[in-house]
Amino acid sequence: MKHTNDMNKNCPWCDSEKTQMHLWVKDLFLTQEPFEIYECLKCGLLFTEPRPDVNSIGKYYQSEEYYSHQENKNGFIPKIYESVKRVNLRHKRKLATKGLKVGTMLEIGCGVGDFLHEMEQKGWNCTGIEPSKEAKAIAKNRVKANILNPDELASLEDESFDLITMWHVLEHVDNLKEEVTHLQRLLKKGGRLVLALPNYKSADAEFYREYWAAYDVPRHLNHFCRESINNIFKNTKLKLKKTDKLVWDAYYISYMSEKYKNHTLPLLKGALRGLISNCKAQKSGEWSSLVYVLEC
């Protein structure tokens, strides 16, 4: 039996002991194993417990379906996914580079290299970081960029990049403190960090609760909202310049959540729920996924 305010569940960001049980969830994508999500009452971060260590996390990624590695699948959903992806890539590039001159960029969690490819076509000098061997092998055939392992982040020189992007990556990072230290170190003066993250305060998150596909435990170790991002970066040299949204995510996440609930007509219901979430977000600003643009 688990209790709230378990003293062992310290916040992985601020170390506060003031944490409480937030939600009981399962790995609905792969193993069906149960996990808990705790809330830090000090900084607003939600975090997955238990957190699989580096030796055991691999098994939770062992699926050909894991979406960031999806390649050339047939069928209706993958086709929609592909065309939305193309529009999305252009949107992400514009969002990330607005006001920046072409320069050097690092993409942490580059997957099969979709975004690197988009950026290289516009003349950016790119480096990628990717833990999956399979994804890395595909990326290496598609892009000029050097693709490194996550532990090679430490070998990159200080102030090497004009831009660092992390599209849905920081939620997977176990050591947040170390990561944030590297991000500050690697950016040039005036450089930009772009983070896209699921927002647990979105209407689709509140509607689906333990079925919300973007909790995606235990692959997602951290779960963010505006407040937790503000708290994480407030004492760093990175200042939040603006937030933006990824409108498609509300539909995709709602569709996946409907599938997890074993509801009939997941595409239709997911589309409707995604639309409702986006309409509510027009007023509240709580989009299903938020993009944070920080500069130093």
Nearer to Zn ion, 40 or 221 (CB): 40
- Given a contact cutoff of 8 angstroms between Cβ atoms, the answer to whether 269 and 185 are in contact is no
- Helices 114-121, 76-97: crossing angle, 10 deg rounding: 50
CB of 19 vs Zn ion, minimal distance in Å: 7
CB of 197 vs Zn ion, minimal distance in Å: 16
CB of 268 vs Zn ion, minimal distance in Å: 39
CB of 215 vs Zn ion, minimal distance in Å: 18
Pairing between β-strand 104-108 and β-strand 222-223 as defined by DSSP bridges: unpaired
**What order of strands is seen across the sheet that includes strand 46-49?**
19-26, 34-40, 46-49, 222-223
Nearer to Zn ion, 19 or 127 (CB): 19
Nearer to Zn ion, 12 or 191 (CB): 12
| Cα 221 → chain centroid | 10
- Given a contact cutoff of 8 angstroms between Cβ atoms, the answer to whether 194 and 166 are in contact is yes
CB of 11 vs Zn ion, minimal distance in Å: 3
Other residues' Cβ atoms within 10 Å of the Cβ of residue 204: 29
Nearer to Zn ion, 13 or 200 (CB): 13
Structure tokens at 248: 């498609």
Binding site for Zn ion (CB under 5 A): 11, 13-14, 16, 40, 42-43, 45
Signed CA dihedral, 265, 267, 270, 272: sign only: negative
Nearer to Zn ion, 42 or 117 (CB): 42
